[in-house]
Structures are given as structure tokens and as C-alpha cells.
Amino acid sequence: MKKKEILFILGILAAAALLWAVTHLTDKGDLSTVRITVAGKEYGTYSLSKDQVISIGDTNRCEIKDGEIKMIWADCPDHLCMKQHAIDKNGGTIVCLPNKVVIEGKKSSSSYSEDELVIDSVT
């Protein structure tokens, strides 16, 4: 290989390492709570550290267990919300469109504003 090719490859590797470092050093923390909304109105905020079963009206039921939350029961016809991945410390969202239920993660760091956490895909 020529000297220019080696310098080009090293430059690409250095740029990749810099991007990786920036994304990992600016991480704002893990999820500690989840927020449940029904029809756009807050139903409640729950800690992922406390195992519990939450009944969301008469339409849905979710479970917090081992630091994860997942939908375990729903009266909607397709049950797609029950097939969605659990939300854990890495984040995520569970949506039950027929019942207008949204479960979303909330960062533990206070540097996030409330506007950054709202995902309003129901209304």
C-alpha cells in the first residue's frame, strides 16, 4: 500500500473513533421510569425498579418485572401491543392504537426536558 492510502485509512478510523466517543460520552443515563398515557393524557409514571402489574383501565394490563415493562394483556383485536419488545434501561415505546395507550421511557437525568420525551403518535 502507498503512504496516502495508509493515511486515508487511518483518518477514517480516527473519525469513526471520534464519533463513537462522542456518542458514548454524551449519553444522558439509563431509563429509570416509564410514563403511561391514555388518549394523550397522563395515566401515571412508574419506576422500573419496582416489580408490579399495572391495570390501565379495563382495556390493558402491563407488567414491570426485572427492570423491564411489557404489555401482558389487552382487549384490542390484533394484540400488536403485546408483541412489541419490552422497554428496559435502553428505552423504547409500546403503543396500543385501538385503546390509545402509550408506554414510553423517561430518562433519569434531569438534563432532558419534558418536550424531548414526548412521542405523541396517538393523537
Domains annotated on the chain, with CATH: 31-117 (2.60.320.10)
pLDDT digits (tens, 9 = 90+) for 9-62: 999 999 999 988 887 776 556 668 999 999 999 999 999 999 999 999 999 999
111 pLDDT band (50/70/90 cuts)?
very low
Quote the pTM value: 0.64
Half-sphere exposure of 37 (CA within 13 A, CB side): 18
Nearest to 84 by CA among 101, 98, 66, 96: 96
pLDDT for 90: 83
CA 90 to chain centre: 6
The H or E element spanning position 63 is strand 60-65
pLDDT for 13: 94
Between 120 and 82, the more confident residue is: 82
Nearest to 76 by CA among 55, 100, 109, 50: 100
pLDDT for 65: 94
pLDDT exceeds cutoff 90 at 82: yes
7 pLDDT band (50/70/90 cuts)?
very high
- Report yes or no: 31 and 106 within 8 Å, Cβ to Cβ: yes
CA gap 28, 107 in Å, rounded: 7
Between 75 and 110, the more confident residue is: 75
Strand 68-74's sheet: what is its strand order? Answer: 52-56, 60-65, 68-74
Radius of gyration over alpha carbons of the chain, in Å?
A: 20
Please, what's the b/e burial string for 82-92 (b: 16 or more CB within 10 A of its CB; e: otherwise)? beeebbbeeeb
